[in-house]
Amino acid sequence: MKLWKKILIGIAAVIALAVVALVTKFYLLSPEVRPAAAMTAPSTPEAIARGKYLFEDVMVCIVCHSSADETQPGSPVDMKTIGQGRTFGPENELPGKLSGKNLTPDKTVGLGAWSDGEIVRAIREGVSRDGRPLFPQMPYRAYRTSLSDEDALAIVAYLRTLPPSSHDPGPTNIIFPVSMFIRAVPQPVTAPIPPPPADPQGRGRWLLRAAGCNQCHDSADAQHRPIEGKELGGGMALPFAKGVVYAANISSDPATGIGSYSDEDLMRVLDEGKSKAGRPLYVMPWAQYKNMTVEDKRAIIAALRASKPVVNTVPPAKL
């Protein structure tokens, strides 16, 4: 056999092995799915109120699962559409069409046919009722380590109280190969998750993670993977309907971060959506964060003050 034929056969064998490895990894072994736990959400007023607070004002699930006007600062939500779903498309530079699911108790397009355990599994493990992986724009990777059973079930308790809606935002359709890679993202929760810490800094760190602050404000590479050692350093490009904003450096660095901000400056960011210079803030859902308790907002500020300083000058928005 001629040498070039042997080389071609060898190349074909390597390609075949690579294809088999990819199929095995992403279609046979992924996503990692465990049976949904047998869980029952409470129905007490206290649990429902806690779930409402988390869903609307801390984790701001309401912004992706309701109609929201991102052309306005703070992306205000149409409160008549809470939990009815929302569609995101290529204008957000997403790899396809992404739908925030209808989370109302409707039995056809909502969560009416889901068990409480299936909903908790979706929130924390990124797996739909039928085993499909959820696109990680939903920060289930953060919830996997931060959302206790009690808090997760409180959210379920609140969702069960929403008026059923038949609004269908449509399916999520992510293009290949992203659709393949996201299959490896979901992971089961294998250990109990503790409740939020009581001390201000610890609670603030928990709030930063639960509220999705790290997801936007950690410095990331071109593939949106967080860069180790540059937590809260900012710079991620966030395209939206009016242009592009860049996530601010909210580390404690005094020159490029929030080290020069006073506590009042930071409270104004959370309460009014205005930078230290008075510019209105887009994309950041401060219209919901402003409803957090004063204690929780002060805990966030305490955690930011204690964060590692990251030197990173973030470019101005392009609006």
- Judge if 237 and 262 occupy the same domain: yes
Answer yes or no: do 166 and 238 share one domain: no
Q: How many domains does the chain have?
A: 2
Q: What pLDDT is stored for residue 74 in this prediction?
A: 94
> Looking at the structure, do residues 211 and 280 belong to the same domain, yes or no?
yes
Domain of 209 in residue numbering reads as 200-305
**Residue at 148 is within a domain:** yes
The single-letter code of the amino acid at 44 is T
Question: For residue 206, what are its two tokens?
Answer: 């928990």
Give the H/E segment covering residue 150. helix 149-159
- Could you tell me the pTM of the whole model? 0.91
59 touches 211 (CB < 8 A): yes
Could you tell me if 81 and 176 lie in one domain? yes
- The letter for the amino acid at 146 is S
Pairing verdict, β 237-240 and 243-246: antiparallel
Q: Which SS3 state, helix, strand or coil, does residue 123 take?
A: helix
Tens of pLDDT along the chain (319 residues) come to 566 665 555 566 656 555 555 556 556 555 778 899 999 999 999 999 999 999 999 999 999 999 999 899 999 999 999 999 998 866 556 778 889 999 999 999 999 999 999 999 999 999 999 999 999 989 999 999 999 999 999 999 999 999 999 999 998 888 888 888 888 899 999 999 999 999 999 999 999 999 999 999 999 887 777 889 999 999 999 988 888 999 999 999 999 999 999 999 999 999 999 998 899 999 999 999 999 999 999 999 999 999 999 999 999 999 8
- Three-class secondary structure of residue 232 per DSSP: coil
| CA distance between the termini of the chain | 63
Query: Residue 315 domain-assigned?
Result: no
- Would you state the pLDDT for residue 14? 59
The answer on 211 and 244 residing in a single domain is yes
- For residue 62, which of 117, 100, 89 has the smallest C-alpha distance? 100
CA angle 278, 279, 281 (to 5 degrees): 125
- Is the same domain home to 156 and 206? no
214 sits in which H/E element: helix 213-217
Residue 163, Cβ neighbours under 10 Å: how many?
A: 11
In a domain, 37, yes or no: no
CB distance 90 to 239 below 8 Å: no
- Is residue 49 located within the same domain as residue 179? yes
